[in-house]
Amino acid sequence: MAEDIFSALRTYIGKMSGGEKSAAEMSAALSNWIKESGEGFKARIEAEIESAASKMGFVRKEDLEALIARIAKLEAVSSENEGKSSMAKKSAVAAKKSTTTKKVTGTK
């Protein structure tokens, strides 16, 4: 990357000394080049950090939050199903008791 900077500076200085570009044009071009290079450098750093964190077993905050939300949703659905299931079981037990009570009362 250092070689890229020196190469770009040599090119810009050569054009400026040859009268091809003004100092303001060179400054704007150099500023844009630095900004673009900085963005590329930042992207490379972020990729390396994510790779290293993944290798160490860390997860991204967004992934963890999504997983927590998914688990909460599944637990809510599961508890709803358990509630319906227990209500059905209670109804079946109550129906069975009422028929058993009728039979016992009828035999006396």
Same domain membership, residue 75 and residue 31: no
Same domain membership, residue 99 and residue 66: yes
Same domain membership, residue 92 and residue 40: no
Same domain membership, residue 34 and residue 2: yes
What does pTM read for this prediction?
0.39
Where does residue 87 rank: exposed (0-12), middle (13-18), buried (19+ CB within 10 A)? exposed
Q: Which residue has the tokens 């028929």?
A: 99
Q: Measured between alpha carbons, how far is residue 25 from residues 4, 37, 39 in Å?
A: 19, 18, 21
Separation of alpha carbons 96 and 42, rounded Å: 71
Lowest model confidence (mean pLDDT) among 5-9, 40-44, 57-61? 5-9
- pLDDT tens, residue by residue, 1-28: 556 767 777 776 777 777 676 778 777 8
Please list, in sequence order, all residues whose beta carbon lies within 8 angstroms of the beta carbon of residue 4, skipping any fewer than 6 positions away.
37
